[in-house]
């Protein structure tokens, strides 16, 4: 990867019903998802966790909120002012992604009042927070993983995912990319005949197709910046999310 630190926007996704293993927690709980594309948050349809990765719930210095991320990310954040004491993470619980699947969440900007945490098998433990927000209109990885769950009942059953957590959630057109349409990830998925989230080479190709064009030529279709180029409003949108206490900036 690059030479300098990578800046991520951490999207705060509020837990609406406490998972069993966190039933004793008496503070607001958030899953924090690291994204490079804050301007796509209008199109969130779910949150991804890896079922086998370990996550921790930990105490932040942000109005006593409890956040969920990998231990590695929490440690990094403890050096970026997110804990009461620098370098010290107060852990409340250790959980697997599996323990947290099916949790209902409220996420900023999306038109869905409630979205759910679902399993994604390509999540890396050593990147971001291990929590990924899903925008299937603009991310081929997200679209492929969502279609896998929608098409395969056995896959939903394996992880205890109810139909209503998955089936009503279609990609939302939020950014128009010249020649790729209003849901560029769906366009690329179909054009390259991608079969599943395991189709690594084709997904890499799909990402190449979408990302550069999406960033330089994409035009927002929704929200207060509708009609503007993504590259021109990205920073403003990030600032607004942070000012509204719906996001933070995180480096690694
Ligand atoms: B992006 P980079 Cl719409 N494992 O957010 C796998 N993927 C992860 C991750 C992890 N631990 N942590 C973050 N990510 C994803 C939105 C998005 C993203 C769109 C389009 C492209 C895109 C919605 N998902 O990423 O290796 C997150 O997905 C393109 C790569 O640091 C995050 O931004 O470059 C991106 O990968 C960070 O990947």
Residue 215's pLDDT is 79
Q: What whole-number distance in Å separates Cα of residue 80 and Cα of residue 200?
A: 34
What is the predicted ipTM?
0.99
Residue 95 Cβ < 6 Å to ligand 1: no
In DSSP terms, 96 is beta-bridged to 54
Residue 77 in contact with ligand 1 by CB distance below 6 A: no
Ligand 1 centroid distance, CA of 58 (Å): 23
Positive or negative CA dihedral for 23, 130, 216, 199? negative
Residue 2: what pLDDT?
Answer: 60
- 219 alpha carbon to ligand 1 midpoint, in Å? 20
Question: Does 35 contact ligand 1 (Cβ within 6 A)?
Answer: yes
Mutate to test the pocket of ligand 1, among 4, 7, 8, 36 (most ligand atoms within 8 A of CB): 36
Please tell me the predicted confidence (pLDDT) of residue 129: 98
Q: Is 152 in the pocket of ligand 1 (CB under 6 A)?
A: no
pLDDT of residue 74: 98
DSSP 162-217: -GGGTTT------EEBTTTBS-HHHHHHHHTT--STT-HHHHHHHHHHHHHHHHHH
How sure is the predictor about 212, in pLDDT bands with cuts at 50, 70 and 90? confident
Q: What is the mean pLDDT of the chain?
A: 96
**Does position 3 have pLDDT exceeding 80, yes or no?**
no
Nearest to 138 by CA among 91, 188, 63, 178: 188
Residue 211 scores a pLDDT above 70: yes
Per-residue pLDDT, 220: 97
Q: Is 204 in the pocket of ligand 1 (CB under 6 A)?
A: no
Ligand 1 proximity of 107 Cβ (cutoff 6 Å): no
């Amino acid at each position: 990867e690059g030479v300098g630190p990578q800046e991520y926007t951490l999207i705060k996704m509020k837990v609406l019903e406490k998972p069993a293993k966190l039933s004793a927690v008496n503070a607001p709980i958030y899953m924090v998802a690291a994204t490079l594309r804050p301007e796509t948050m209008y199109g969130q349809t779910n949150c991804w966790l890896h079922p086998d990765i370990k996550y921790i719930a930990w105490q932040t210095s942000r109005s006593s909120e409890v956040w969920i991320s990998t231990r590695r990310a929490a440690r990094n954040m403890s050096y970026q002012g997110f804990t009461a004491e620098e370098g010290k993470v107060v852990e409340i619980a250790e959980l697997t992604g599996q323990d947290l699947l099916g949790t209902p969440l409220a996420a900023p900007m999306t038109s869905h009042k409630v979205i759910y945490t679902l399993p994604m098998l390509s999540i890396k433990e050593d990147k971001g927070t291990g929590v990924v927000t899903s925008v299937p209109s603009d991310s081929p990885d997200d679209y492929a993983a969502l279609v896998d769950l929608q098409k395969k009942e056995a896959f939903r059953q394996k992880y205890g995912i109810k139909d209503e957590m998955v089936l009503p959630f279609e990609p939302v057109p939020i950014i128009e990319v010249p020649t790729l349409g209003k849901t560029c990830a769906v366009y690329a998925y179909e054009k390259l005949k991608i079969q599943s989230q395991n189709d690594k080479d084709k997904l890499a190709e799909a990402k190449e197709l979408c990302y550069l064009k999406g960033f330089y030529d994409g035009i927002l279709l929704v929200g207060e910046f509708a009609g503007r180029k993504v590259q021109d409003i990205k920073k403003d949108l990030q600032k607004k999310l942070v000012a509204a206490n719906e996001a933070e900036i995180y480096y690694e």
